[in-house]
Structure 1
Amino acid sequence: MTASLSPTSIAHTPTDDRTLVRAVLALGVGGFSIGTGEFVIMGLLPEVARDIGVSIPQAGHVISAYALGVVVGAPVLAVLAANWGRRALLMALMVVYALGNFASALAPGYGSLTAMRLFTGLPHGTYFGVAALVAAALAPPGRRARAVGWVMLGLTTATLVGVPIAAALGEAFGWRAAFVFVGLIAVAAVVMVRLWVPVMPASHGASPLRELGALARKQVWFTLGIGAIGFGGMFAVFSYIKPTLLEVAGMPPALMPFVLSLFGLGMVAGNIVGSRMADKALMPAIGKVLLWSIAVMALFVPAAHHPVSAALATFLLGTVVAIGPALQIRLMDVAGDAQTLAAALNHSAFNAANALGAWLGGVSIAAGLGWTSTGWVGVVLGLCGVGIFAWALSSERKTQRATAGLSA
C-alpha cells in the first residue's frame, strides 16, 4: 500500500521518517543495480573479448557505448518524460535498465553487445536525477543533501559489494551471468519503488519546453562545468590505477582486489561526509571538496611510490565523490522550474568528467611523463574546477546586487 504525497511539501513526522527510509532504500537499490552494471564489465573485459572474438581494446568500446548512452539519455529522456509522475517514471527507467542488461547477456557478438550497452546506459542519468528529486522532496528541512547522498550510496556501495559479486558470478558462470544478476537487481528495484515510493505527480505545468528552460540559466552551466571538469581528476588517476600500483608501487597483483576495495570504501565515506557538509553550507562544501580534490591528486604523485602509501592514496581518491550530493542539490536550487532536466544532467557531467579525465591521463602517460603524471593532470583539472566555482560565485553576487538595486 502506498501513499500519495506532494512533491514539494511533506510534513516531518515519524510516519514520514518511515516513508523516507523505505523510499530511499528502494531508490538506492536501483542505484546499486546501475552502479554494478556500469562498473562490472571493466573487470570482465578479457572474458568478453575472448567470447565475442575481438581484442581487449576493441571490447573496451562497449564501455564507451554505455557512457555515450548516459550522456545522450539523460537530457533526452528527462525532457520527453517531463510531465510523467515521478514514481511511474522511475519504474519505467528501471524496467528499461533491466531489459538492457538481459539483452546484453544474450548479445551474440560485438555489434549487438555495443548497441545493447548503449541502450542500457540511456536511463542511467535520468534515473539518478529523478531519484534525487524524490529523495530531496521527502526529506525534512536541512537534510536534503543527506537524502540525496543515501540514494547515491547505492551507486558507491555497488563498487564495494555489487561489482565483486557480479565479477565472481562472471568468472564462475561466464560474463553473461553478471548482466543477468544486474538485471535481476533492477527488477527487484522496480518492485520496491512501486511499493515504497509515494505517488508524486509531475509539478504543475511541467512540459518538455519548460524543462529546456534549464539550459538558459547560467548557474546551471556553471554547476555542470564544475562537475565535468573539476571532478575529472579522480578519473584521470583511477583510470590507470592498476598499472600505476603494479609498475610504480611494486604492489603484488594478489593485493589488487583489496586495494581497489579501499577505493570503494573511500567513495562510501566521501558520499556520507560530503552530503552532511552540503546540508550545513552548500556552496562552501563545493569549494572545500574541490580544494580537497587538488590536495589528494597532488599527494598521489609521491604516495604512489610505496605500497602502503599508495593504498592510502587510493582510499583518499575515492573520497573525492563527496562533491556529488552537493552538486546535485545545487542544480536543484538553480534550475527553477526545470528540475528534472537539470538534475539528470548532473550524471551527464560526471560521465563527461570520466571521458575527459581518462583521455588527459592517457595523453600525459603517452607523452612519456610516467604513470604518476595522472596526479598532476588531476591537480590541473581541480584548479580549473575552482576557477569555474569562483566565476559562478562572482556571477551570482553580481546578479544579486543588480536585483537589490532594482528593488531599492
Structure 2
Amino acid sequence: MLLPVFLLSAAGFTVLTTEFIIVGLLPAIARDLDVSIPQAGLLVTLFAFTVALFGPFLTAYFARFERRKLFISILILFGLANTLAMMAPNIWVMAIARLIPALGLPVFWALASETAVDIVGPDYAGRAIAKIGFGIVCATVFGIPVGTLISDAFGWRSAFGILAVIAFAKALLLFVYLPKTSLHQHQVSFRSQFRILRSPLMLGHVLLSILVFSGMFTAYTYLADILERLAGFDGTVVGWCLMGFGAVGLIGNSLGGRAVDRHPLMASVMFCAFMIPGMVALVPNINSSLGLAAAMGIWGVTQAALFLVSHVRLMKAAPEAPAFAASLNIAGANLGIGLGAIIGGRVIDSAGLGFVGFAAAGFILLSIFLAMVLMVLKPREVCAA
C-alpha cells in the first residue's frame, strides 16, 4: 500500500534536487560562465518565478491525466533538462535548461502529494506528505551537498550529468513498479478548483508561503558563498557543511509532520520563531566551529519543517481541492524563492554578504505576524460560511 508513496518520494528526490542543486554550485557556475554571484543567483529566480507563474494552471490542467504516465514523462523531461545544463556554453543556455524543469516540478509535487494523502486518508495528511517530503529532505541531505562535492572534484557539469542519469533511472523504476490504478484520482473540474481563490483566508495562506520562502531563500541561496567567502572553506568543506545542514532537516521533517497535523498555523509560528536566531547568528559565529554548527543546525531543522508545514497547511485549508491548493503553495513558495534570491543579491551588492541573514529574518518576522492574523480570521470565516 505504501510502495507508491516511497516510489514517489524517490522521484521527488530527483525533482527537488534539480531545483536546489544550483545553490551549492553557484560559485562554480558563476566562475565558469563568467558572471557575478548575484547574476548566477538569477537562475534560481528564473526557476522559481516560472513555477510560481505557471504552476497552478499546469497542475489544474494535468490533474485529469493518468498519473503513472504523467510522472514518468516529467522525470524524462528533467533528465533532458539536466543534460542540457551539463552542456550549457553560456548563461543563456543554462537559463533554458532551468526553465524546462520548472514547468514540470509543480505538477509532480502537487499531484504526488495528493496521491499520498489519498492513500493514507486526510487525517494523516502530514505524515503521508512527510514520507513524500523525505525525498525533499534527502535532496538537501545528499543531493545538494553531494552535488557540491562532485562539482569540487570533477566540475559542476558532471553534477548535472549524474542527475540526468538518475532522472532517467527513476523514470524506468516508475514504469516497472508503479501500478496505474494506485494513482487514479477522482477528477475535479478546472473551474471548480479555482473557486478556492475566492476565500480571503486561502489568499492569506498563499501570502504566508510567499513570506516564509522569501525569508528562507534570501539567505539560503547564498549559503555556499557565505561559507566560501566569509568562513574561508573550500568546496569540499562547503559540501560537508551543506550535508550537515540537510541532515538535521530529517529532524525538522519529522517534527513538522506531527506539528502540522495538530495545528498548521501554530506550527508555522513556532518554526519561524526558532528559525530567526539561527539565521541571525550564522555570520557572527562564522569563525566559531561550535557557534556555526549550532546556527546552521537550528536553521536546518526549522527550514525543513517549514517546507512540509507550508505544504500541508495549504492542503488542509482547501480539502475540496487539495492538489490545486498544494500547487498554490508551490507557486507562492517559488515566488518567495525567486524574490529571496533577488533580494539577497541586492543586499550583497549594497550592504555585503554578511547582512543577508538579517534581511531574511525580517521576512520571517512578517511571516509570524501574518500567521497570527490568520489564526484570528479563521474562526470568523468559518462562522460566516
Range into which the TM-score falls when normalised by the shorter chain: 0.7 to 0.9
Counterparts in 2 of 1:63 and 1:366: CA distance versus 1, 3 Å: closer
Measured at CA, do residues 323 and 169 of structure 1 come closer, stay the same or move farther in structure 2, by a change above 3 Å?
closer
Which residue number corresponds to residue 241 of structure 2?
Answer: 259
How many angstroms apart in 1 are the aligned matches of 2:31 and 2:363?
36
Distance 1:294 1:169, change over 3 A: closer
Q: Kindly indicate whether residue 369 of structure 2 is the aligned counterpart of residue 387 of structure 1.
A: yes
Larger mean CA deviation between 373-382 and 122-131 belongs to 373-382
Q: Unaligned regions of 5+ residues in structure 1, if any?
A: 1-18, 404-408
**Contact 1:300 1:375 (C-alpha < 8 Å) held by counterparts:** yes
Whether the 8 Å CA contact 2:78–2:167 is kept in 1: the answer is yes
Q: Percent identity?
A: 26
TM-superposition CA deviations, 1:208-256 (whole Å, max 9, x none): 22222232222322222111103332222323334544665x5544643
State which of 97, 104, 108 in structure 2 corresponds to 1:127: 108
Contact 2:45 2:339 in 1 (8 A): no
Whether the 8 Å CA contact 1:304–1:372 is kept in 2: the answer is no
1:90 aligns with 2:71: yes
Alignment partner of 1:313 is 2:318 = no
From 153, 157, 174, give the equivalent of 1:193. Answer: 174
Aligned with 2:182: secondary structure? coil
User: Which residue does the alignment assign to 1:325?
Assistant: 308
Residues 309 and 87 (structure 1 numbering): CA distance in 2 closer, same or farther, change over 3 Å? Answer: same
User: Residue 24 of structure 2 contacts residue 145 of structure 2 at CA under 8 Å; is this kept in 1?
Assistant: no
Which residue pairs with 1:373 in the alignment? 355
The residue type paired with residue 397 of structure 1 is P
Matched letter for residue 80 of structure 2: L
- The answer to whether 1:360 aligns with 2:343 is yes
**How far apart are the structure 2 equivalents of 1:23 and 1:110?**
37
Residue 301 (structure 1) shift: 5.9
* 1:112-191 equivalences in 2 (<5 Å): 112-140=93-121, 142-170=123-151, 174-191=155-172
Q: Distance in 1 between matches of 2:360 and 2:84?
A: 36
Distance in 2 (alpha carbons) for counterparts of 1:169 and 1:314 = 22
Amino acid in structure 2 at the alignment position of 1:200: L
Aligned residue-pair number: 380
Write the deviation string for residues 156-193 of structure 1: whole angstroms up to 9, x where unpaired.
21222223444455555554432232222222332333
TM-score by length of 2: 0.86
Task: Show the counterpart of 1:30.
Answer: 11
Task: Please say if residues 81 and 208 of structure 1, whose CA atoms lie closer than 8 Å, have aligned partners that are also in contact.
Answer: no
How far has the Cα of 1:136 moved from its partner?
Answer: 1.4
| SS of structure 2 residue aligned to 1:122 | helix
Q: CA–CA distance in 2 between the matches of 1:166 and 1:291? A: 30
Larger radius of gyration: 1
- State which of 35, 42, 51 in structure 2 corresponds to 1:55: 35
> Match of 1:125, SS?
helix
Check conservation: 1:73, 1:126, Cα contact below 8 A.
Answer: no
8 Å contact from structure 1 (residues 251, 307) kept in 2: no
Note closer, same or farther for the CA distance 1:234–1:79 as it changes in structure 2 (3 Å cut): same
Confirm or deny: 8 A CA contact 1:93 1:127 kept in the other structure. Answer: yes
The 3 A distance-change label for structure 1 pair 184 and 210 is: farther
1:398 alignment counterpart: 380
TM-fit CA distance, 1:140: 4.8
Aligned residue for 1:143, secondary structure, equals helix
Cα-to-partner distance string for 1:323-349 (whole Å, 9 max, x where unaligned): 222222222222243332221222222
Structure-1 separation of matches of 2:117 and 2:333: 20
**Structure 1 residues 77-129: Cα deviation after superposition (integer angstroms, max 9, x where no partner):** 11221322333332332232222223333445443332122012111122111
Q: Which position in structure 1 is the counterpart of 2:256?
A: 274
Displacement of 1:364 after TM fit?
A: 4.1
Distance 1:245 1:49, change over 3 A: closer
Say whether 1:100 aligns with 2:87: no
The amino acid that maps onto 2:20 is: F
Q: Is the 1:269–1:319 Cα contact (8 Å) retained in structure 2?
A: yes
| Bigger helix fraction | 2
Residue 66 to residue 240, structure 1, CA distance change in 2 (3 Å): closer
Structure-1 separation of matches of 2:51 and 2:140? 18
**Does the C-alpha gap of structure 1 residues 200 and 45 become closer, same or farther in structure 2, counting only changes over 3 Å?**
closer
Instruction: Kindly indicate whether the alpha-carbon contact (under 8 Å) linking 1:30 and 1:189 is maintained by their aligned counterparts in 2.
Output: yes
Equivalent residue letter for 1:356: L
Q: State which drifts further: 76-85 or 380-389.
A: 76-85
Q: Structure 2 vs 1, CA of residues 294 and 252 (structure 1 numbering), >3 Å: closer, same or farther? A: closer
1:337 is paired with a residue of what secondary structure?
Answer: coil
Q: Secondary structure at the match of 1:84?
A: coil
Q: What is the alpha-carbon distance in structure 2 between the residues aligned to residue 365 and residue 160 of structure 1?
A: 26
Return closer, same or farther for 1:397/1:49 CA change in 2, 3 Å cut-off.
closer
* Alignment correspondent of 1:4: none
Match of 2:201 in 1: 219
Contact 2:86-2:160 within 8 A present in 1 as well: yes
Single out whichever of 231-240 and 270-279 deviates more from structure 2. 231-240
8 Å contact 2:141–2:247 — kept in the other structure? yes
Partners of 1:192 and 1:162 in 2: CA distance: 19
Q: Is the 8 A contact 1:82 1:211 kept in 2?
A: no
Local SS of the residue matching 1:148: helix
Cα offset, 1:402, TM superposition: 2.9
Q: Please, what is the CA RMSD of the aligned residues? A: 2.8
* Equivalent residue letter for 2:98: R
* Aligned equivalents of 2:264, 2:135: Cα separation in 1: 22
